[in-house]
């Protein structure tokens, strides 16, 4: 029987070359938990692991047991994807590669456009900033690992520390261009049939929100503070969601005021 998402503790084969192990760390920002992706050419014992996930011994042991780990790739810096890295590196000895040096162990940082040859696969590195400045996607022949740039459901939160809407929209363009007919394998949630289509959907959603905010600024004044805009645009939404909405509105105001 084929497994469906979420299948905690079970290796779930999603494409001929990609399987997922879902970490048991569900939460507001992680949906059902972090997806750890395990990539290998059919018949290969060697595997590439994308995002070992949180520091959870049981999860990391299960990931390590999935094959001979020859390489670890990191989609971005957030702890739900990287907290287990050191422990995993110690256990497997596999080199770890990421966009920023701070996560690299026994190798070099990843570069946009780089093509990696490992576990019988060709993996192309795509820089897709916006969720964070260091966000990467990884392109395979039939799928794209999208990290938190595109999720299995809901929308991506832009990290106020270094995520920007301008970067994010450019990354959606890039994923649309690369992703026609390729399955999206996200950092959280279930896979999505077509990366290009979901990139278009995400962009449409962002532009609708931008239009709402522009309309609010006409009423409230062009220099209205983020929370004032939230109260106006999200008037019908539960107040508990306003702090999260404020982050998103802030990113959009920056975008509108800088473009
Ligand atoms: Zn995440």
Q: How far is the CA of 226 from the centre of ligand 1 (A)?
A: 25
More confident residue, 195 or 234: 195
3-state secondary structure of 239: helix
Rounded to an integer, the average pLDDT of 210-229 is: 94
Q: How far is the CA of 152 from the centre of ligand 1 (A)?
A: 12
Any long-range contacts for 125-128 (C-beta under 8 Å, 24+ apart)? 126/174, 126/175, 126/178, 127/99, 127/171, 128/171, 128/174, 128/175
Point out the least confidently predicted range of 80-84, 156-160, 205-209, 252-256.
Answer: 156-160
Q: How far is the CA of 7 from the centre of ligand 1 (A)?
A: 18
pLDDT at 1 over 80: no
Q: How far is the CA of 223 from the centre of ligand 1 (A)?
A: 32
Q: How far is the CA of 224 from the centre of ligand 1 (A)?
A: 31
Q: How far is the CA of 211 from the centre of ligand 1 (A)?
A: 28
- Identify which of 53, 47, 46 has the alpha carbon closest to the alpha carbon of residue 76: 53
Q: How far is the CA of 51 from the centre of ligand 1 (A)?
A: 9
Which pTM was predicted? 0.94
- Condensed to tens digits (0 to 9), the pLDDT of residues 140-155 reads 999 999 999 999 988 8
Contact 63, 72 (CB under 8 A): no
Instruction: Check residue 243 and give its pLDDT.
Output: 87
**63/89 Cα distance (integer angstroms):** 12
Q: For residue 29, what pLDDT band results from cuts at 50, 70 and 90?
A: confident
Q: How far is the CA of 188 from the centre of ligand 1 (A)?
A: 7
**170/176 Cα distance (integer angstroms):** 10
Q: For residue 247, what pLDDT band results from cuts at 50, 70 and 90?
A: confident
- Condensed to tens digits (0 to 9), the pLDDT of residues 71-98 reads 999 999 999 999 999 999 999 999 999 9
3-state secondary structure of 92: helix
pLDDT at 244 over 90: no
Instruction: Check residue 241 and give its pLDDT.
Output: 86
């Amino acid at each position: 029987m084929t497994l469906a998402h979420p299948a905690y503790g079970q290796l779930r084969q999603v494409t001929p070359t990609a399987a997922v192990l879902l970490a048991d760390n569900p939460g507001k920002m992680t949906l059902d938990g972090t997806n750890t992706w395990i990539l290998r050419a059919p018949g290969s014992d060697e595997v590439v692991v994308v995002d070992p996930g949180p520091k959870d011994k049981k999860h990391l042991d299960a990931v390590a047991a999935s094959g001979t780990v020859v390489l670890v790739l990191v989609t971005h810096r957030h702890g739900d994807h990287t907290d287990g890295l050191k422990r995993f590196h110690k256990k497997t000895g596999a080199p770890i590669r990421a966009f920023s040096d701070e996560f690299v162990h026994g190798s070099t940082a990843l570069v946009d456009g780089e093509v990696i040859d490992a576990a019988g696969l060709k993996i192309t590195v795509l820089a897709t900033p916006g969720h964070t400045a260091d966000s990467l996607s990884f392109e395979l022949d039939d799928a794209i690992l999208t990290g938190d740039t595109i999720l299995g459901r809901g929308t991506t939160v832009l990290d106020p520390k270094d995520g920007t809407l301008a970067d994010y929209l450019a990354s959606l363009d890039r994923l649309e261009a690369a992703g026609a007919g390729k399955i999206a394998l996200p950092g959280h949630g279930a896979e999505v049939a077509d990366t290009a289509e979901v990139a278009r959907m995400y962009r449409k959603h962002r532009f609708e929100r931008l239009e709402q905010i522009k309309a609010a600024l006409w009423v409230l004044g062009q220099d209205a503070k983020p929370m004032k805009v939230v109260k106006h645009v999200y008037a019908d939404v539960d107040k508990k969601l306003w702090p999260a909405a404020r982050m998103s509105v802030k990113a959009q105001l920056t975008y509108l005021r800088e473009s």
